[in-house]
Structure 1
Amino acid sequence: MKIALAQMCSGIDPEENARQLRLLLAEAAAGGAVMVFTPEMTGLLDRDRSRAARVIRNESDDVVLSTARSEAKKSGIWVQLGSLAIQANDNPDEKWVNRSYLISPDGEIAARYDKIHLFDVDLSPDEAQRESSAYAGGHRAIVAPIPGAMLGLSICYDVRFPALYEALTNAGADILAIPAAFTVPTGKAHWEIMLRARAIEAGAFVVATAQWGKHEDGRTTYGHSMVVDPWGKILLDMGEGTGLEICDLDRTKIAEVRSRIPAVANRRSFELPVKMT
């Protein structure tokens, strides 16, 4: 299965991000990719929430979602749109959602996933981030069929919560999408380690497409979009820079690894721990 990863440096203008996405999807289709994966916040990366509020739309009016759907239909490819900032309903006072999309080759939305674990952290005395102040967290894990496989959806900070990926693989996922906009300090320290761990635990492919570079809103993201195979081997590391890379997934590797180390099959339920006094 030939897939493409689009490493982007999304800015504050959804129209420009849509233009860049259109070029990347056309390049992927020309390269023979069956499916394209994009990063978290493909359509808008802006920590100025007052400014962002002027361009965040609902699904029917989002220009990036519309572009992804039309290009998927035009090229006959699957698109895993890492995520978009979306108005969940028509009330502008409601919190937004950080929503991932799976778009089929007929341009239809095959699955939606709202980011469950929100990035509420204190990275340093000078840097705190509170995603939950503007976004509502999701409540449902999603697994969806794609050609010859089952895709489990997640977003960025979710990668730190193995229970989500256990639930996804228990439901049949054998490819895990982890689009992201990782900070540079956390990326250097944790990105590769966690992606390989999620792949090894699940005996699944991990496809993790990331934002990279200095963004218009002033933040800097880590890049290093990766594909990791079910044995934990890195098949692709895009490093720094923007652009598109193609990777071929040998899906026979999933059954091979799961037969050698059947960790998914060997999972057992257990009683919660009792705290001894």
Structure 2
Amino acid sequence: MTTILAAVTNYSHWSEQARLINYYRLAPDNSPRLTKKVQQNMTMQLKASVLQYCAAASASETLPIIEELVAESAAEGASFVCLPECATFLSPNRQALYDQAEDEATSPSLARLCLLAKTHQVFLSVGSLLMRDTGADKCINRGYLLNPQGKISACYDKIHMFDATVGDGRTYRESERFQRGYEPVLAQTAIGNIGLSICYDIRFPELYQGLSEAGAELLVIPSAFTAVTGAAHWHILQRARAIETGCFVLSAAQYGTHADGRQTYGHALIVAPWGEVLADAGSSDKGFVTADIDLAACSAAQKRHGTAANRQKLMPVRIIS
């Protein structure tokens, strides 16, 4: 275990083959600006799985579930496996959440997941883990992309905080618990160009447009959608992001009633660039769905609707009264 932990916390040992490549810098207004585009993988084919389960209130309870499902996915031939947001636990209150958050440099959960990716020789999208922010009273909701060597290829901090009252009797204020991220992240890997995001980010299409313009082919949107918002918007949003960008969307999902009574929607999805739902986990409390992916479909879809070539830079809105 010590060897694996050293590998994932020493950034000088990140993989050269599937390393983090960040193509954005922050403008003064905190909006992302594209600085570079990468070559797309026109002939790559792969099998991908998205997991669905109900995370317990502790990582020790949830990690065995993850290990079981990843092993089963790999046995079915998946080379890319995706976990949902808050992959290892969903905690009932702010203090419990902070108490269970881990320090990245010594995170046992991250080390265990790196070993899992290496054991099964898969790329593993760890939807998000809750990490302590040094010197702050908030956590960081951080997604990781791990490669088959058990090393970190990329990480991404959730940008958009879910502050909303959705009509399920609860008020959500993620900004009170989490320190937001600022940088969009695209990872160029051996299985394709992967754009990272987390859950509520999906409601902000400009993020995904930027990732697509940078060369993304696979968009991961790990989620813990509420049952109310999921029933209303989940499938529409997933298909819209796929269609708009011409990318495959892979959305692992939480499902069920959690320790704090929160209900999540499920329906882990894989959506093709033309908007077809390739796989839907439905209302299964533990499982996964798998689909064959041909990255040639990305450029084909983009050519068919032509938006990449025809997009115009708009002037500011003129208001007439």
User: What TM-score, normalized to structure 1?
Assistant: 0.95
Structure 1 runs of 4+ with >4 Å offset: none
Q: Residue type matched to 2:76 in 1?
A: G
1:40-119 matches, cutoff 5 A? 40-89=85-134, 91=135, 93-119=136-162
1:223 maps to what in 2? 266
The answer as to whether partners of 2:86 and 2:129 remain within 8 angstroms in 1 is: yes
* Conservation of the 8 A alpha-carbon contact between 1:46 and 1:216: yes
Question: What SS does structure 1 have at the residue aligned with 2:171?
Answer: strand
> CA shift at 1:128, angstroms?
1.0
Indicate if the aligned counterparts of 2:132 and 2:138 stay in contact, CA closer than 8 A: yes
Q: Which residue of 2 aligns with 1:142?
A: 185
Q: Tell me the CA shift for residue 125 of structure 1.
A: 8.5
What residue in structure 2 maps to residue 271 of structure 1? 315
Compute the displacement of 1:179 (Å).
0.6
Matched residue, 2:68: 23
Q: Which residue of structure 2 aligns with residue 11 of structure 1? A: 56
Quick check: 1:82–1:180 contact (8 Å CA) kept in 2? yes
Aligned residues, how many?
A: 275
Question: 1:196 aligns to what SS in structure 2?
Answer: helix
Q: For 1:1-55, what per-residue CA distance to the aligned partner results, in whole angstroms no more than 9, with x for missing partners?
A: 1011111210111112122212222222222111100100001111311122221
Which letter does structure 1 place at the counterpart of 2:318?
Answer: V
Query: Which deviates the most, 156-165 or 139-148?
Result: 139-148
Give 1:139 shift.
Answer: 0.3
Q: Which runs of 5+ in 1 are unaligned?
A: none
| Cα distance, 1:152–1:77 mapped onto 2, change above 3 Å | same
Cα displacement (A) at 1:148: 4.0
Q: CA RMSD in A?
A: 1.4
State the partner residue of 2:293. Answer: 249
- Compared with structure 1, are the counterparts of its residues 212 and 275 closer, same or farther at alpha carbon in structure 2 (3 Å cutoff)? same
RCO higher in structure (CA 8 A, sep ≥6) = 2
Secondary structure at the counterpart of residue 211 of structure 1:
strand
SS of 1:264's equivalent in the other structure is: helix
Residues 1:125 and 1:250: Cα distance change in structure 2 (over 3 Å): closer
TM-aligned CA distance change 1:123 to 1:72, over 3 Å: same
**Selected match of 2:207 from 164, 168, 172:** 164
**Aligned residues of 1:36 and 1:78 also touching (Cα < 8 A):** yes
Measure the CA separation in 1 of the matches of 2:315 and 2:66: 47
- When normalised by structure 2's length, the TM-score is 0.83
Residue in structure 2 matched with residue 37 of structure 1 by the alignment: 82
2:251 match: 208
Identity over aligned pairs, percent: 39
Q: Is the 8 A contact 2:57 2:92 kept in 1?
A: no
- 1:174-198 Cα deviation digits (max 9, x unpaired): 1111110000110000000011111
Counterpart CA distance in 2 for 1:146 and 1:182 is 28
Partner-residue secondary structure (3-state), 2:310: coil
Kindly provide the CA deviation profile for residues 214-237 of structure 1, in whole angstroms up to 9, marking residues without a partner as x: 112211100000111011010011
- The CA deviation string for residues 241-264 of structure 1, in whole angstroms up to 9 with x for no partner, is 111222111222112211211212
Name the CA distance, whole Å, in 1 between partners of 2:152 and 2:258. 28
- Residues 199 and 230 in structure 1, CA contact (< 8 A), matched pair in contact too: yes
| Contact map agreement 1:17 1:64 (CA 8 A) in 2 | no
Question: For the residues of structure 1 that align with 2:49 and 2:282, how far apart are their CA atoms?
Answer: 15
**Within 2, Cα distance between the matches of 1:243 and 1:43?**
15
Deviation (angstroms), 1:275: 2.4
**SS of equivalent residue, structure 2 residue 239:** helix
Please list the CA deviations of residues 111-140 of structure 1 after superposition, one character each: whole Å capped at 9, or x if unmatched.
Answer: 011110000001239421100001011100
Question: Is the Cα–Cα contact under 8 Å of residues 11 and 217 in structure 1 kept in the other structure?
Answer: no
Query: 1:138 corresponds to which letter in structure 2?
Result: G
Q: Deviations over 1:138-173 (max 9, x none)?
A: 100001113342111111111111111111111111
> Residue deviations 1:30-89, cap 9 Å, x none?
221111001000011113111222211111333321121001112211000111111132
